[in-house]
Amino acid sequence: MFQNNPLLAQLKKNLHAKTPRVEGIVKSTERGFGFLEVDAQKSYFIPPKNMKKVMHGDKIVALLKIEQEREIVEPERLIEPFLNRFVGKIEKKDNRLFIIPDYPFLKTLITCQPNKNCSAFFHHGDWAVAKLIKHKLRGDYLFYAELIEKIISEDDPLTPWWVTLARHNLDKKEPLFEKNDLILKENYPRKDLTDLDFITIDNSNTKDIDDALFIHEDLNGQFYLTVAIADPTAYIKQDSKLDLIASKRGFTNYLPGFNIPMLPRNLSEDICSLNPNKRRPVLACNIIILKDGSISKNVDFFLAWIKSKSKLSYENVSDWLEKSSTWIPKTKSIEKQILLLHRLCLLRIKWREVNAVLFKDSLEYRFHLSDEGKVIDIFIEKRRIAHKIIEEAMIIANISAANFLSHHLGFGIYNIHTGFDLVNAENAVTFLKNYHLYFTVKEITTLKGFCKLRRILNMLSNSYIDSRMRRFQSFGDFSIMPGPHFALGFSKYATWTSPIRKYSDMINHRLLKAIINKEKPIKPSEDIKLKISEQKRRNRISERDVSDWLYTILLKKKKYENKKFKAEIIDIARSGMRARLIENGANVFIPGVFLHPIREELIFNQEIGKVFINGIVQYKVSDYIDVTLSEIRQETRSIIAKPEN
């Protein structure tokens, strides 16, 4: 009777139109239900039956309904799936293949099969790259994925590296090359500096050596520093096959235990590397550092041949300068070079302390791995005097390059940092007043004012204030046009000292050469700048992901059970605190349930970085506390800790 009734159809349409809808991101829980997060303050409950249509992270439109006097949502339309290309672990049941995505809160078994281009055989426990093809909210009756490639077998020691690189779609091996790629392509005239006592200082195991130094001093106390940098662009023509590969990779990817080079190892670790007693082509500059520590504007860039007289290590040079070992330089001329570079370093540190921004010394953690890739332990490394010698020399060289490029071209690849944006500058000024530090927004948004603020904070040495200021600061970036680097305290900064490892430095090499040889330079595009920024971000995340994985493997060892660790609180989250173990650098999470049994009396204030219990501050960022490890979750690479009372 009511079939095909136009009035009934219109009524249904009107009711459908009046049903309120919300848009947001699905957040699942381990208990089967979920929430639709509309914004930072508002979320709606998704019952378990409705969660079967969606996955954690999906962006959806949902119908807003009332069930049993409670607001719930029913997923209606998929805007963007969380999964597209993803990494997961294979499960095999009754000769059928399933894949579990390698993400926290995603426990769905997704039916899968290899696609037509994938010839690998998959076994239970294998890791694979897959692509989601079917989604229930698109009208499909199941979630379905195609397997694109096999990554690695279960329990292979290299799993953390290969899975992480596959997840971020990063290269696993060095670039392939042809014989022609190893031949010098340039015939520009070069100065012969092979008789000068150039030295290199690096880690003892470094093979891709890209900087060498020579220094002398005149009777007036001025230093004359020659910085010689390896010259891969002499072998790699712009827009050649190898150049395009380097531009895509952007950087040598340094991961715990090994690296994946931007250039073929034959180039980066041999032909271009400034190995001792080997004649090498370089791009060099002569820089005068005045008696007060400032850099003369009279800088000369040129092409040259050099022959490093010695490969020195940070450890040996630092030990010798600190008189803490039996190692000595093998010749008097090398000894003289070290002593002059040391004096220059101290002079520049003193100058930067007054005129720019000094870095705070921090601990670095390095994994000790077996030849098979198994985690043995963690080494703690500090920045010692030899590290600072090279650091100061490279800073001098990069300032000089930035000024040289700006004067002659007005463009290049510059490292910039804008300090505070207007809103964060206002927040910073308000925050600082609480500690009787009085600045204006106008003041701290200038380079001079920012440097003054940083110097005062360095003198105060208050870790909590430092952490809040970092939260207000902008992130560093690349720019084609000259701009200030507030965090360093310089009006311009452009790196060119690591062309073996950074494509941005290769670009600057070509621009500097164009000036030297009076050729027309090719201005870098915004696209290449964005590609470099994105690749840097992906490399940084991959390094962190591998480290997190290795930490869970290391800390599962029996000797760490019930051990008390000192930890620094580094962040306050919505439901707990994040901290770093001082002994080994591992990041841990401390849930609120371990801080106070009554959730209503517990407040986590992310903005000010403090935890309140009954209105009283109990913890804050930068506090040191004792913790023990409660749980190590290998599948999510997370470490749960609880404070010691």
Residue pair 367/378 in contact (Cβ under 8 Å)? The answer is yes
Q: Is 31 exposed, middle or buried (0-12, 13-18, 19+ CB in 10 A)?
A: exposed
Place of tokens 């303050």: 41
Q: How far apart are CA 208 and CA 253, in angstroms?
A: 13
**Which of 609, 641, 642, 644 lies closest to 626, judged by CA?**
644
Nearest C-alpha neighbor of 529 from the set 403, 406, 414: 414
Q: Write b or e for each residue in 175-199: b if 16 or more Cβ atoms lie within 10 A of its Cβ, otherwise e.
A: bebeeebeeeeeeeebeebeebbbb
Q: What are phi and psi of 621, to 5 degrees?
A: -55, 140
Contact of 629 with 588, CB cutoff 8 Å? yes
CB 173 within 8 A of CB 142: no
8 Å CB contact between 472 and 422: no
C-beta pairs of 609-617 under 8 Å, 24+ apart in sequence? 609/464, 609/467, 609/468, 609/471, 609/571, 609/572, 610/572, 611/572, 611/577
Residues recognised as catalytic: 202, 208, 210-211, 314, 501
Which helix (H) or strand (E) is 283 found in, with range? strand 279-289
Compute the CA torsion angle 229, 234, 237, 240 (nearest 10 deg): -80
Integer Cα distance of 413 and 483 in angstroms: 10
What is the rounded distance in angstroms from the CA atom of residue 145 to the CA atom of residue 131?
5
3-state secondary structure of 516: helix
Cα distance between residue 559 and residue 585, in whole Å: 17
